[in-house]
Structure 1
Amino acid sequence: MSVSELEPGDREFERTPPHDIPAEQGVLGGMLLSQDAIAEVIEVLRTADFYRPAHQIIYDAVLDLYGRGDPADAVTIAGELTKRGEIARVGGAPYLHTLISSVPTAANAGYYARIVRERSVLRKLVETGTRIVQMGYNADGADADEILDRAQAEVFAIAEKRSGEDYVPLSEIMPGALDEIEAIGSRGGQMVGVPTGFADLDALTNGLHPGQMIVVAARPAMGKALGLSTLVPTPEGWTTMGALEVGDEVLDADGRPTRVVAATEVMHGRPCHEVEFSDGEIVVADALHQWRTSVAGVTAVRTTEEIAATLDEVHVIDGPDGRVTKIVDVRPVASVPVRCIQVDNTDHLYLVGRSRVPTHNSTLALDFARAASIRHGLTSAFFSLEMGRNEITMRLLSAEARVALHAMRSGTMQDEDWTRLARRMSEVAEAPLFIDDSPNMSMMEIRAKARRLKQQHDLRLVVIDYLQLMTSGKRVESRQVEVSEFSRSLKLLAKELQVPVIALSQLNRGPEQRTDKKPMVSDLRESGSIEQDADMVILLHREDAYEKESPRAGEADLIVAKHRNGPTATVTVAFQGHYSRFVDMAQ
């Protein structure tokens, strides 16, 4: 069958790939005429952007001579190609003079280069489209979401102006690495990566670097008595306290299924209070609810009303395994239906609430995002699978304006609080910080959104709160396998977008079995691969959360337990829970 006999649909595949030979000649001719043109063109084009192989060879020779500091003109390039045995492949020395004569001036080289680049992008798009079509036809039962994700990655690579080559010789990598070393030296010790907002941590890490996966981990907060609208995580997803029935499963303190064995009737019309703990947890309880607290070493049962009347004293609740929590505020709220459940694990604890599982490492991650976006104008994305966008915004405003978070929540802000808030509102609102609180986000959705933010807003930091709340929606061998896949995917996302990715994670109860209560990397919950994939692991530890008389009250340790590109150390910061933030220690 001749070409003329092909059906219209078949002719589409017989088309010559997009290219512009005169523009390629104009680029090379300008480079042979002017060193300045070479400097301009190399910022735009790579060797593979040329369609004609002879032009790729000439371009490589020009770059080699220019890189050595030698002149690159028709005579020197002819000599270089002769030495390489490639002069005949480009059409001989006369063709080099033809290139020069094809351009009236070297000043147009940059314009021609952009035309060549556009044609190169179109060729890559055609090639990518062909591969995507093949993916669709050759799926063979593969997951459609995975194929879609691969297709998105292929198109994103074009948008990022990357070469289609998967491998690069060391000779091509070396100049870029040396340039980076020189650039670091020329900064005079100034930070290279995305700042964390903590001076000692930045000094240790030199900021958070592109391609890094950083894991921030802490123990989860836990709750008992709650209002009916409180969200409760279960093995099947989210439910509410009001919807739970005897026999249902919730998650215990370590995230494992535990069964509800008893539940009170719903209680209406009772005077209610919000009880706020030192770890940020807030529990709604009625006025007569009983608490076993310790005051000045004396343990007794006290009602919510009694605690509210004696807040000038320090009320401490001893949790399981020596965990200590202080009551920092009790404030009246409008009456809500309340209820309690009992579960069948030994400590009778279960995880609750979007904004309360976990609390401390969410605060630290928000501090990182604040430092990047509000203080330094770098675009960051905060993907929250547990806190709502309004809760996150309130915490940001509390931290930035130094207005107590509980005053915002309870409507008790004073005039000076409103003044401080007004001063910071504009800067916070204009910060390039994007918050996504979409429920049940999958890894594919997070990657797609991050790619779009990278393309449209020059994304510099990604925060995911938190790893154990992610779901794939697929049947997997075990939860550990699923979390391992998420961990690996986040590392690949960091490399693909060339941004640091912070993943919040939970610790198991290992720290509470130790005398000093300090966490270790081995305490990371559900997956040892989190440690393997992470470039940096930061473990959060507060001594006063376990020891009520600790002389280090108000201090927190950021334990850099793993640092692939540098030393490990412990950085001490101050915890200001009422402002929902960590800050540098006063010098």
Structure 2
Amino acid sequence: MNHDDYLDEPAPSCLHSHDAEYALIGCMIHQPDLIDDTGSRLEVSDFHHPACGELYEVLRAMRAKGLEIDVVTLSDVRARLADGQSTLAVAAQLVQSTPSAANFAAYARIVKQRSVARKVIAAAHVMSQALEDGAPLEQVLAQGQQAWVALEAEGLDVSRRYRLVRDILPEAIDGIDKRFNREVALGFDTGLRDLDGFIPGICPGHMVVIAGEPGSGKTTLGLNIAERVALHSKATALVFSIEMTDVELVNRSLASVGGVQLQHISEGHSMTDGDWPGLATAVSRLDGAPLVICDDASLTLRDIRQIARTVKREHGLGLIAVDYVGLIKGEGRATPRHEQVAEISKGIKRLAKELGVPILVLAQLNRGPKQRANKRPTKSDLRESGQLEADADVVVLVHRDGESEAGQAGVTELIVDKNRHGKTGFCRVQHQGAYHRFVDLIGYMPSDEEVEMGRPFAGRQYGKGRAAA
């Protein structure tokens, strides 16, 4: 091929632009600093024209070694290209045809977008061939979804992945002004006054771990918060329940919202005349609530991501709750369970930021608290993986001492043991087990041990609570 042909664009195509590739290489020879800008967004494989890809590879290698770059030094490193053409002649022609590097970003964007388009077609061919070869539909769809997510991220304009502080300040000040005037809230509240004192808002992008021993009420707390988001904030709350069925969860919501004992709802025949009005009220409120439940017991993180993206696209999305992380299936090769949970935890944190919603992650504790005199858990007691503790923005531990009089009356400690954006500490709430809900505690009389430890307290009426309005 004569070097003059390098500037001849073949038949127009939406899958490549040799003109953009020529101009991009010319810009980098003109202004070598631009090679650094392409390093995070372009690979050699993104170039459709073989010679452009080869020149880009040589330019990156020279830049990495700190070599001076122009048409002569480029030719000195590689005299001829793979097709036999003179590197000096080709490079000189490209530089001559690119008078300015002003439109470098536009050229790079065109090259990247056309590259992603080609990869989309290639991925579709792979999926099509897999289906023709008899691969299970579920497997092919899962692989396809993973490919689409990766390609979507790859096609983003890199310049949009960071911003100068001067570009962020107007948005930050506008948010402060709106919150000051109470036009918007920082995040979702929990409906529990004292807990909200520690967590002024469950914010988009945050990962909140709610952990406790079996039967402590972690599922109740997670579902209560999801109900709160759906009923009071009118935002879609998506609940993944791997342990219980969707009907069981709805029964719990009916009990919580309607103030009807769950046992009466479950049995049916024990419903009293006083229960029916509460049940009717709960049905009316929940019927119009944007509360979405998925009870698939075989969920993987990939499934959670796919369903969450679908719900956000079709219904909007305010919050996700996952009950519970220890039951999410691992993917890929067989690895120790703690490594699987670590990967799941990191994936959930990424998903929260990707979707711009908070994610409540319910988790179990190990047996560490039982070995302590006060039986109070800490965040280091999270079961199976310390990665949960590392990834979480907030860790709330649900603790109720079943051997104490207060614990038997439902008094429960919510221990905020990690809080990236606020203070740590604990508060007490009332667990109304019959209705499967937590409410504010009206008063509590501490034990002598707690008085000696200097813990704050008020009132003498433990065992009584007030439901959130």
Counterparts of 2:188 and 2:115, CA distance in 1: 35
Q: CA-atom RMSD, angstroms? A: 3.5
Q: CA 1:157 to 1:576, structure 2 compared with 1: closer, same or farther past 3 Å? A: farther
Write out per-residue CA displacement over residues 243-297 of structure 1, whole angstroms, 9 at most, x where no aligned residue. Answer: xxxxxxxxxxxxxxxxxxxxxxxxxxxxxxxxxxxx4xxxxxxxxxxxxxxxxxx
Shift, 1:132, TM fit:
3.8
The 3-state SS of whatever aligns with 1:415 is coil
Among 444, 457, 468, the residue aligned to 2:302: 444
Alignment counterpart, residue 312 of structure 2, candidates 454, 476, 492: 454
* Aligned length in residues: 341
Which runs of 5 or more residues in structure 2 are unaligned?
Answer: 20-99, 103-108, 128-138, 444-469
Offset of 1:471 from its aligned partner?
0.7
Opposite residue 213 of structure 1, the aligned amino acid is: M
Which secondary structure state, in structure 1, belongs to the residue aligned with residue 409 of structure 2? coil
CA apart distance, 1:125 = 7.1
Distance 1:123 1:558 in 2: 53
Letter in 1 for 2:397: L
- Work out whether 1:130 is the aligned partner of 2:118: yes
Amino acid at match of 1:422: A
AA in 2 matched with 1:414: T
C-alpha distance after superposition, 1:206-233 (max 9, x if no partner): 120011000000012xxxxxxxxxxxxx
Out of 272, 279, 286, the residue aligned to residue 414 of structure 1 is 272
Q: Which residues of 2 match residues 89-488 of structure 1 at below 5 A?
A: 128-133=116-121, 145=142, 148-152=145-149, 154-155=151-152, 165-187=160-182, 191-220=185-214, 279=215, 360-411=217-268, 412-488=270-346
Closer, same or farther: CA 16–384 of 1 in aligned 2, 3 Å: farther
Question: Which secondary structure state, in structure 1, belongs to the residue aligned with residue 360 of structure 2?
Answer: strand
- Does the residue aligned with 1:398 lie in a helix, a strand or coil? helix
Q: Does 1:523 align with 2:374?
A: no
- CA 14–216 in structure 1, closer or farther in 2 if over 3 Å, else same: closer
Shift of 1:409: 1.5
Q: Which aligned segments of 4 or more residues in structure 1 are displaced greater than 6 angstroms?
A: 5-8, 121-125, 134-139, 161-164
Summarize the Cα distance change of 1:441–1:537 in structure 2 as closer, same or farther, 3 Å threshold. Answer: same
Larger strand share, 1 or 2:
1
Post-superposition offset of 1:585 = 1.4
Q: Distance in 1 between matches of 2:340 and 2:381?
A: 18
- Structure 1 residues 217, 138: CA separation in 2 closer, same or farther (over 3 Å shift)? same
In 2, Cα distance between equivalents of 1:531 and 1:432: 30
CA gap 1:469/1:460 in 2 versus in 1, 3 angstroms = same
TM-score normalised by structure 1 residue count? 0.53
Contact 1:191 1:206 in 2 (8 A): no
Distance 1:522 1:472 in 2: 22
- Where 1:13 maps in the other structure, the secondary structure is coil
Match of 1:521, as an amino acid? Answer: K
Name the structure with the higher helix share: 2
1:184 CA displacement: 2.9
Question: Is the aligned partner of 1:556 residue 2:388?
Answer: no
Contact 2:414–2:429 (Cα < 8 Å) also in 1: yes
CA shift for structure 1 position 473: 3.8
Contact 1:373 1:379 in 2 (8 A): yes
After superposition, the Cα gap between the structure-2 partners of 1:151 and 1:585, relative to the gap in structure 1 and judged at 3 Å, is same
Cα shift at 1:492: 0.3
CA–CA distance in structure 2, aligned partners of residues 542 and 157 of structure 1: 47
Following superposition, the deviation at residue 552 of structure 1 comes to 6.8
- Distance in 1 between residues matched to 2:122 and 2:392, nearest whole Å: 34
Output the CA distance in 2 between the equivalents of 1:16 and 1:427.
Answer: 59
Which runs of 5 or more residues in structure 1 are unaligned?
18-87, 91-120, 221-278, 280-358
Q: Normalising to structure 2: TM-score of the pair? A: 0.65
Asked whether the 8 Å contact 2:400–2:407 carries over to 1, the reply is no
Structure 1 residue 192: Cα displacement: 1.5
Aligned counterparts, 1:64-79, within 5 A:
none
SS in 2 for 1:583: strand
Q: Is the 8 A contact 2:17 2:111 kept in 1?
A: no
Using the alignment, how far apart are the partners of 1:11 and 1:560 within structure 2? 57
> Does the aligned pair in 2 maintain the 1:483–1:527 contact within 8 Å?
yes
SS class of match (1:431): coil
1:566 aligns with 2:422: yes
Give the secondary-structure state (helix, strand or coil) at the position aligned to 1:566: coil
Pick from 380, 400, 403 the counterpart of residue 542 of structure 1: 400
